[in-house]
Amino acid sequence: MIKLGTRRDDPSRWRLISRTPSGAEVLAHEATGADRPPWPEAVALLREGRGDLEVVRDAGMHFRWLLHAAGGSVVAESPAVHRDVEACRSSYTNARRAARTVLGPVHAPAHDLRTDG
């Protein structure tokens, strides 16, 4: 089961969680920093894969991904729990799928059916 949780005192703080019978895994969460977007915008950017993906390694040798918006600010990230780059990239794909589950699929814009004449 996929769940999106937000904090009552700060709705820009959110977590995208996958719950299983044996526990839960945080797939993605809000970006750190004061200029983070509200959760609907951040999760929509994640769902659509809009932005630049960056994979970084922390001092403990674990990887996490960061999704940067067009202006360069980070809008979503994963926990630093991945052992290698490929597992980290795979977790980004899983987080995007989970975002589609929460928000629904991305819809293509309607075509203009007007004709000349």
Give the span between the Cα atoms of 42 and 70, in whole angstroms. 12
- Which pTM does this prediction carry? 0.83
Could you list the pLDDT tens digit for every one of the 117 residues in the chain? 999 998 888 877 899 999 988 899 999 999 887 778 888 999 999 999 999 999 999 999 999 999 999 888 899 999 999 999 999 999 999 999 999 999 988 765 544 444 444
CA distances, 21 to each of 1, 78, 91 (Å): 9, 22, 19
Position 15 scores a pLDDT of 95
User: Residue holding tokens 């202006």?
Assistant: 71
pLDDT at 109: 53
- Going along the chain from its start, the domains and CATH numbers come out as 2-103 (2.30.29)
Query: In the prediction, which pLDDT does 113 show?
Result: 46
Q: Is 83 in a helix, a strand, or coil? A: coil
Cβ atoms of residues 16 and 28 within 8 Å: yes
Residue 107: the pLDDT is 66
- The pLDDT score that the predictor gives to residue 112 is 46
Contact 16, 4 (CB under 8 A): yes
Amino acid identity of residue 23, one-letter, is G
